[in-house]
Amino acid sequence: MKSSIPNPARPVGAAVPPWDDDYKNHSIEGKLNGWRGLFDQLTGLCYNRHGGIASNTPLMIERLSNSGIKSRFIDVEIMGMREKKGIGTIVVIDAFDPANPKPYSERMKELDHIEEAPFDLPQNRLLRMPRLNHATLKESWEKMNRHNIGGLLWEGFVMKADEPYEWLSNPSYCSPSWHKWRIL
């Protein structure tokens, strides 16, 4: 049974690259090198990926409390914690409500009003993950990797099936419908 406080979805390592035909029907996003966070809009609490209270709570509340996202939980990547690129920027990965599960395609409609993160990540912004075209992933990686000079900003890709958000009761578990491909 899942706990009442969810842990963010965690992708499992992919067996084949994202440009393989296995992922033609998946949504593919860039994978950033930041700190995961989960904002509970109902309680106003912010969690890290291990289920503890996030050290970035003030920044998360500032960026997310008036984001216009309707779902209870907002899953994010907090930038500038490992690398200095994108300091103060929060990138929305997903949003979900355990009481009203929706497939990925429906959840993403809630995020369309938020600007997509460019590969050259700006500072002090609220953005959403870029949704990438399966047919041009190798070219996208070349563009993403150009912004890794002097540090690791982009790590690879996350491929998501069009299924409900798989939040975790244990942060050590993985979400089977999310796969990751680390290039670096």
pLDDT of 1 higher than 80: no
pTM over 0.85: yes
Q: Return the pLDDT at 150.
A: 83
E strand segments, the chain: 11-13, 27-32, 35-40, 45-48, 73-78, 90-96, 126-128, 131-132, 154-160, 175-182
Summarised one tens digit per residue, pLDDT across range 155-178 is 999 999 999 999 998 989 999 999
pLDDT at 142 over 70: yes
Task: Assign 5 to helix, strand or coil.
Answer: coil
Encoding tokens for residue 75? 């899953």
Q: Is the pLDDT of residue 3 over 70?
A: no
Cα–Cα nearest to 26, from 157, 143, 183: 157
158: alpha, beta or left? (left if phi > 0; alpha if psi -120 to 50): beta
Strands 73-78 and 35-40, how do they pair? antiparallel
Q: Residue 4: pLDDT band by 50, 70, 90 thresholds? A: low
